[in-house]
Amino acid sequence: MSGPADTEWHGNDAEAEELKRALNRNCQCKYDDFGSVSDMCVVHKALLKDQRFLDGLLFVKRMKRQFTEAERKSGKKWHSI
């Protein structure tokens, strides 16, 4: 991985795409007149600098998918979200 990131993505490509879309919706980075980031948002900071945050994000995502899958198969509601 190149660039200023200290973190590494441990998910697959589909999950990376999903993350990118979520990022685009939540990103609040500020840019200067030259198109460079002048003020990085907290989400980007966490993703680039905090490996545990990144891994945690993936973990929660996979857990949620498993629950949703189980819910669909059983026809029961496991949670109300």
3-state secondary structure 22-70: HHHHHCCCEECCCCCEEECCHHHHHHHHCHHHHHHHHHHHHHHHHHHHH
- From candidates 44, 46, 49, 55, binder to Zn ion by CB under 5 A: 44
What's the CA gap between 57 and 46, in Å, rounded?
Answer: 11
- From candidates 19, 27, 48, 58, binder to Zn ion by CB under 5 A: 27
Nearer to Zn ion among residue 6 and residue 69 (C-beta) = 6
41 binds Zn ion (CB under 5 A): yes
- From candidates 5, 29, 46, 48, binder to Zn ion by CB under 5 A: 29
58 binds Zn ion (CB under 5 A): no
Contact criterion met (CB below 8 Å) for 51 and 8: yes
Binding site for Zn ion (CB under 5 A): 27, 29, 41, 44
